[in-house]
Structure 1
Amino acid sequence: MQNTLHILNGDSSLHLFQKSGINGDKAIWREVLSDGLVLDSFGTDQFWQSRAAFMTAFTKTSSSDYHEKVIDEFKKIQNFKAYKEVVLWFEYDLFCQINLMALLHWFQQQDKADVKISLICVGQVDGYEKLMGLGELSFERYPELFEQRRILGRNDFNFASDAFQSFCSNNPKDMENFILLPSNEFPYLAKAFQAHLMRFPSSKSGLNLIEQEIIKLIESGKNTEIALIGALLKWQKYYGFGDLQYINYLNRLSPLLEKGQAITLKQNYHSTPIDRNYFLGGALVSEWEWDEDHQEIRLSQI
């Protein structure tokens, strides 16, 4: 039996991990479960087919590229019984928290036998005021993080499995229990789930939180795609998104925008409808809205 398999949350973490001197094999979890339809039948052929269809459209990549970068990496994870320990390296943001819950949901259903599974989840780090991601830390901090890893038990897997299934539910209100009753073991999940629900259209403006921020930035003079994306990457706290996600948000807002040398708002943008025929987790966005007054998700009143 080999010693350790490290499951990393992305390629930037891989680069730093390789410089850290920590021993073990590596698998990179590159899925983007924070976007698109996510079935709770994680790891099945149906699940992969659904995700491949979404990801090839979302990222403009080929199905063979998706297979190589995501499914082939997951096959390394499926071989976890060949190791004494599996270490998961993840972060506080929505992007990572959903991916983490999905993996723990899958592990919950496996015969883990004598394999120890542990977690490193970075957010609040000594010496920093703001929440930090793995890619923002020096590789010299990685051995310290490794020594502080937390061994996961049955209750952790059960909790994560329930959380993931709530994300995959066609009723996003199922997620509210995890916001109202935060977990000590997964301290970043509640904020990440709330950030997720605020991606549904506001009951007041019809725009979700990210779209509202884009409008503010344009009104403040950020009038190019590069400037807008740069500002959004600095603004985000609990999303953990990259350029691609924010490009897609701009594309979805196209009916409201004039795109020339500068991006401006159309005169009647307040009354211009946006296509909401897409999924977040298991929920069809057009059926739900974020109630700003009560800070909760509810069925759309439109």
Structure 2
Amino acid sequence: MTDTPNGPKIGISVSNFDDSTLRRVRQLGITNVHSSGGAGSSNSNFGRENQLPWTDEKLGAEVKALAAHGIKMGIKMITGFPNAIYGRPGRDEDIEKVIESVKCAGRLEIPVVEYNWYAHRIIEGYSYVEGRGGAEYHAFDYESIKDLPPLPEEGAHTADAMWDNITYFLKAVIPAAEEAGVRMALHPNDPPAPISRGSEQIMGSIDGWKKLASIVDSPANGITFDCGVTREMGGDPVEVARYFGDLDRINHVHWRNVITEIPSEKYTEVFLDEGEVDMLAVMKELVRQKYPRIVYPEHPPVMDHDKEFAHDGFGAGYTGFAYTVGYARATLQAALADV
């Protein structure tokens, strides 16, 4: 079994669309992918060329390259609209580019568009620590970076201001997404730090996720449910999955495990089989919901082979993803066996 026709689909993210990369993806049994790069988007709000709006020609070339290997694009990440995020002059132009991109995704039958809404992403608190057998784990410690000042190009923003900005955005974009047959998935703040270079973070709590879903009452206004981030914040991943699943607001799933020392402030991302999240229970909940979209086992630990033989397009490396994809597929099979 690879993917379930009407249930969860194990996927990974690709940013390269060359034949060698896609062959390796397909060899893992992957038939649906998330894409965070290529012709459709940039990787940050600043410092790179804004590539919006998406076009049928450029995004269609990616879809065609995937199809040649029997793979569908299940989710596309969109970035490059900082004026909308910060409520600055030019935000209406940014929003119009997002709307045109969502319409393009609809024409190309890409069912989900994922996005972020960071005032600042405090990745300065991440480091690598030694884990099982010498593998490298991603760890976060807020204490060492909590007093970092705002960046000049970003400034400092209150939660109220960020809520105002995203409300303006959603009321414009969600009706267009509904018409295009596309669901939007807002990723939680990751890391979910209380304050990020002077800015409050609206998606850094489960209450924030719930508030987001209430702004526009539509399945097109959904979240990326991340069971690892849920646990990082001290939440119960199964309970949270059930809440948003019953609302039909889970439009993407990031599937990882963690060990949390201080909720939202200090944690380590670990192998899927050794953290605090009951991964099988989470998968069973998704199967119960008949969740039909991608489950992405991301952020695998870095293994020695990955450091010695790097493979472009896989982030931590092909070996790490082979492990996480295999574990995810076995968990899905076990969950389906109980149905």
Give the TM bin, normalised by the shorter chain.
under 0.3
TM-score by length of 1: 0.26
Point out the structure with the larger helix share.
1
**Which structure has the greater CA radius of gyration?**
1
